[in-house]
Each structure stands twice: as C-alpha cells, then as structure tokens.
Structure 1
Amino acid sequence: MDHRPERTASFHRRGVARALMLVLMMAVLPIAALAASNGQASGQGNAAKAPVGITVTLSPSSRTVDQGQSTTFTVSATSTGGFTGPVTFTTTGLPAGASASIAPSSVSLTSGGTAQATLTVGTATTTPVAKTDFTVKAGNGTIVSNAAPGQLQVLEVKRNFGVTGSVNGLLAPGVSRSVELQISNSGNKGIAVTNLSVAISQVVRTPAAIAANLPCSAADYKLTQYAGAYPLTVEPGVRTLSALGVPESGWPRITMYDTPQLQDGCKGATIQLTYSGTGQGN
C-alpha cells in the first residue's frame, strides 16, 4: 500500500499549526508590552503623590524669658497632599506654672497653602528656672501633623538693689585708694549679685583752680574694678564688701596718675563716682 499521501497531509497539518502559533505570539506580545507599560506609569503616579496631611514649624525654635513674664512664637501650618480644611493647635511639654495660648486658635488651610498663628507662652514666678523642650501640633480629626519642637529657657527674676561707695583716704599723684562698696537690699529675700562696676562721672575743681585755669579731669585718674568672687549673696538690709567677707585686695580702686604735666588743678578737687550692678533673686 502507498502511504505517501498520508505523510503529505500530516506535514501540511503541522505547518498550519506552526503558522497559527506564530500568529498568536505576534498578537500576544504587544498586549503584554502594553500591560507592562501601563503598570510602570501607574507605579510612578502613586509614588509621586504625597499623603494628605499637615506640616507644622515653629519660629524661633527657642525663647528666653524671666519668671513671671511671657514670650511669643510664630506657628506655621502647611497643607500637604491636597489637604483642605480647618486645623486647631495643641501644645504639650511646657514646664510647671507655664501656660500656652494660640491666636487664632484655629486656621483654615487651602490645598498647598500655609497659615500662621501666634503662640504666647506665659510663666509664673514659681516656674522652674531651666531649659524645657516642648512641642506644638496641628490637627483635623484623624489627621494630625508632626510635632514641631520648641524650647523655653526660664531665668530668675532680677532684683532691684542699690550700690554706693566711699574712697578710703585722700588722693595725690601716684597714690591709689580702695573703694568700699555698700549694697542695699530693700527686699525680703536674698540677692545673688553677679556684677559690680564703678565709673567716674565728673571731676569738680575748686573755684581757685577754675579761676587760675588749672586743668583736672577724669584723665588724671584710673579706676580698677571689683576683683572679688561672684556671686555675692546679699541678705535683706545694707551690707558692705568687708561685711560680706570680701578682702580689700578685691575691692575697686582709684588711682591718681603722676604725670609730667602740672596737676595743681586737682588739688582739693571732688571726684564724683557712679555705681552699678546686676543680680538675681535667690
């Protein structure tokens, strides 16, 4: 029997199958490439989109205030990811005795917009003397901002006190005299004095020196400032440097220069001194 027609028919069927497979592959490849392209575009779009939220900043980041006084910060709230709507502020972490108020208490944000408010921090006379970190947030329902950091440094209240002095002895060319200071604390609590200074405000010549046109001025004298230890603890009342245990070597001193020029104009002259100082309550 002759089988050649069967082999010819079988070859023909295999050829059709291969041709059909090739056509299917050509049809599928563009679709797969398009799907891959669409997937990349979709992923890039999702990565570029910021989450809906609020960002808060505080300016300046740190303030210094005396006990019992108040200070202010500027709070800025910015919309991210297209957020819109009102937000309210909260402050946490302030020291004992301190209080916070924000005006306005609520601001309205547009998409991508920024709004500002003023944070006023008040302290009490009992607020601890220290540096304290605190935070400010803004929120709307379940949407809460970052915690913007801030710092408040509270200082002791400075006390008022008086300072006077007297020169121990008379001056002459080349002579130096110590100046005894007296510190008057009129309050009912002790003061920690942290600075004392003396200055020459005026030199008053005698009428005879003025009539004879004999000069004398502050340039004829030299002042050496207080060189004792700080702080000086001064209880209520009047205390001298000697009563406070400061040795005379640490007192201020005034010296009259011995110059080649005639200094008769300084005979009998009166030197007016001014005194100043700073201190804090104990």
Structure 2
Amino acid sequence: MDRRPERTAPFHRVGIPLRALLLALLVAVVPVAALAASNAQGNNGQGGSTQGNNAQGSTAKVSKGITVALSPSSRTVDQGQSASFTVSATSTGGFTGPVTFAVSGLPDGATASAAPASLVLASGSTAQATLTVSTATTTPATKTDFTVTGTSGSTLSNAAPGQLQVLEVKRTFGLSGSVTGLLAPGVSRSLNLQISNPQNKSIAVTNLSVAISQVVRTPAAVAAKLPCSSADYRITQYSGAYPLTVEPGTRSLSALGVLEANWPQIKMLDTPQLQDGCKGATVQFTFTGTGEAN
C-alpha cells in the first residue's frame, strides 16, 4: 500500500478556478482597452476634423470684388447748397479694373457727381474720389438716408450708407419803388424798383410784382365826393429777364442794367367818366418778389 500523498487531484481542483479567474480578468480588461481605443479614435477623429476645417479655412479663396466706404457718413446743408463726401473703393480677392459710382435714395431735387468719375483699382489697392451732393432750393427740408455703390462690369460692391440733412432757408429782401413824374389821363410812368439785399450773399430774384394797394384822394375831392380808385389805373408788370442777381446792399433796376422799357409801368386810364377826384391823388403800391439764395 502506497502512502505517498496524492498531488494530482488537488492540483486540478485548484487549477480550474485559477483559469476561470484569469479568463474573467481578460474579459474585463478587453472592454476597457476597446473603450480607450474607441475614445482615442474619436478624439483623433475630432482632432482630424478640426485640423481639416482649419486647413479648409486657410485655403478658402476670397472672391474678387469691391468694397466701398463713405466718409463722413452724414452731412448737413441749406437748401440750394451742396455737400462733399469722400468715397473709397478697395480691391478684394485680387480684383482689378475701373470702378464707377452710383447713388440712390437722394431727396427730390438733389443730384450727385463723383470726381474723378471713374477709379482704376489694382489688386489689393484703395482709391478715393470726391462725391458732391447738390440740392435745389426746392429740395425738401428733411433728413434722408442714401447709399453709394461701386460698379465694374458685372461686379457690384456693397451699398455704403450715407445721410443728408437739408435745412430750410428763410431769407428776406426788400422791395420799394417810385413813379418818375406825374400821372394824367392816358399817361404811363415807369417804376424804378429798388431791391434791398440784407444778406451777406447774393440773391437771385426770380419774380417781381407790383399792385395798387390804395388811392388816397385829396380832402377837397373827398368833401366834393369825387370818386377815384384803383380802377382808374392799370399796372404793367416787370418784363425783363430773370433771374436778377443782386449782391448785398441795395440795387435799383437801372443799376442792374435793366432797360426802362422793361420796368413795371403804371398808367392812368383815360375814361369818359369824370376823373377830377384823381387830381392830386396819391397812389400807393405793394411790391412782392421771390428769389433764391446763392
């Protein structure tokens, strides 16, 4: 009878759980490694995407074009005056060629012109022109937004914004006049009008008008109830050329070089009615006129 201790059976009983434990550890490690690999791959993918985007952004080409800017962005002028802006055109994306400007949105009666009328841009260059916006005396007194664009063939720039504020101009001038000589039935006399300009700039008179405001009879004619009225007279209006440019100060029609034949005229009518009430009467006038400030 062999009394040596048995070693095989206990070795096998112990080895089986050990292999099972090693297998379990291996299964547990694999998912962790796979997860780490997956995360690394995802991070690398994102990093690759970012690098790709950066590379794409750095290699993207800017299309050829024109960028326009206006300085200053706003101006204020009186009606009939003009304002100047500086318009700049810049080449982008390697654009080259001539550029002309167009203005839209100006108020009624206002016009725009650029000097020079055309700019030639080299690649990456900037050129400037003076944009003059002129208003009329009839341009509405208001604040208006407008835009300036540059054009070269089919290439159109951005619309550069601008603003123009037009102020109402209220200036006055005086008118007076007197008759040269006495009136009698059938006789005409000229009125040499005096135009008084109190402004520090010249004015352009565009209309003159004369009317009889009152006929003042003598006390004797009033006592005798002898009639005389504006119906006994006739006014012929000024027939000279317009406008009449009047510098600061007072100028008469004769001093302005207007022929007497073109001055306003007053005539006493020769009627079959008794006109003794007009003897010694004084005729008073009202003068009106309009003009433009220069």
Q: TM-score, normalised by structure 2?
A: 0.46
TM-score, with structure 1 as normaliser = 0.48
Task: Determine which structure has more spread, i.e. the larger CA radius of gyration.
Answer: 2
